[in-house]
Amino acid sequence: MKIMRDETHDPALTSWVASANAAGSDFPIQNLPFGIFRSKGGLGHWRGGVAIGDHVLDLDVLASDGLADPQAHEALQAAIGPTLNALMALGRPAWAALRRALSSGLRVGSHERPRWERAIVPQADIEMGLPAEIGDYTDFYTSIQHATNVGRLFRPDNPLLPNYRWVPIGYHGRASSIAVSGDSFRRPQGQTLAADAEVPVLGPSRRLDHELELGLFIGPGNGRGVPVPIDDAEGRMFGLCLLNDWSARDIQAWEYQPLGPFLSKNFATTISPWIVTMEALHPYRTPFVRADGEPGPVSYLDSASNRERGAVDITLEVQLQTSAMRARSEEPVRLTSTNFSSSAYWTLAQLIAHHTVNGCNLRPGDLFGTGTLSGPADGQQGSMLELTRGGREPVRLPNGEQRTFFEDGDTVIFKAWCERQGAARIGFGEVRSTVLPAGGSA
């Protein structure tokens, strides 16, 4: 089932939840992202919710009364928690039916308002959890500019390996260390080898880095041995979140040959709590176009629909707040900004088609990372490794501090949004996490 533009995308729609109508709101009625929440302080049970302005629609409360449309009602029952996996498994017809019902009930003039108001909870009164039980996590390498920038640091004469333009490169990550925004994690330890040393040493990473990514949550899975054709891949996409794949670059440099990243990547990945559905992103789908001279994809990675609307126009931004800035109540500063559609060499549909072409079976709630998203211009790099040219050119902050890589106490924040004429602005909220000193016990 393809996503169709309908009344839920109308930019003129407004909600009886007043904060959803505020200029610049991430969560207007045209968005309606899904997440898992409970009352602040660990009170109550985890359950599904939908962000609307600075409030949440509690789907558990809503489910007690039900929805008139049978398909929407089935989807609502699957979304009440404690994870969204059951909703993800239902597929696009159910997702679309629930979206239409929620949009209808939340818009100005809805006869549902008196009944639904009791399901509205301020976001200030809740805490967010992981939106799904993530069985498997795969991280890709979709930005050719990032691959070139990093390759140039390690292989100046051959920065981009020949398979990059033909294969959506990826590796299997660690799902157990994925946490939701607000997480604080300890600086990782591992083996590193100094440039002038013959023997590696164990110690805390000194080159801790972020990676600016989007995360794709998988909906219905596929059977083992049954590839997903690229034109069917859209039906497997539930929605997107922000994703920070933290990386220890010094540990990575020592361990990555011959099998790739291991301890340098498995210690922490942080995601935003709200999943923006592909239905909400429909007005921001754009043609998938490669630069002149780039080869066309292999046939299983190519289709007319993917060329027509395979890309997504999303602006992404990275901010930093150091502990010194926090102590002086200074606002975070922007480190970089880029765009998904201009940064990605591969589309989301191509990632699914490639991941499954060998018969790999995906499951509802699996998570794909896009890999670091870097644009072609200076200031669009999605990692400190690129921004500082491998640590040789520190980033200077307005308060006089400087960074090559992140220090203890640093808080890194990602934000993202879609905005264009003729469509309502929608946002992703944020993902933030803070680096703690190395150490601690089990």
Which residue type sits at 96?
A: A
d(CA 422, CA 438): 49
Checking 223-227 for CB contacts under 8 A at 24+ apart, the result is: 223/361, 224/359, 224/360, 224/361, 225/359, 225/361, 226/356, 226/359, 226/361, 227/300, 227/353, 227/356, 227/357, 227/358, 227/359
State the virtual CA torsion across 333, 276, 284, 318 in degrees, nearest 10: 10
Angle at 242 between CA 236 and CA 243, to 5 degrees: 95
Whether 3 and 279 have beta carbons less than 8 Å apart is answered as: yes
Give catalytic residues, as residue numbers. Answer: 146
Q: Given CA atoms 391, 393, 395, 396 in this order, what sign does their dihedral have?
A: positive
| Helix spans in 65-129 (H) | 70-78, 85-90, 92-106, 113-116
Say if residue 78 is exposed, middle or buried (CB neighbours under 10 Å; 0-12, 13-18, 19+): buried
Which of helix, strand or coil describes residue 384?
Answer: helix
Burial 307-335 (b: 16+ CB within 10 A, else e): bebbbbbbbbbbbbbbeebeeeeeebbeb
Query: Per the omega criterion (within 30 degrees of 0), is the bond before 258 cis?
Result: yes
| Residues near 227 by beta carbon (within 8 Å), at least 6 away in sequence | 300, 353, 356, 357, 358, 359
Which residue type sits at 271?
A: I
Whether 274 and 428 have beta carbons less than 8 Å apart is answered as: yes
Query: Per the omega criterion (within 30 degrees of 0), is the bond before 261 cis?
Result: no
Q: DSSP character for 435?
A: E
State the virtual CA torsion across 356, 358, 363, 366 in degrees, nearest 10: -60
Which of helix, strand or coil describes residue 302?
Answer: coil
Q: Which of 282, 281, 244 is nearest to 265 (CA)?
A: 244
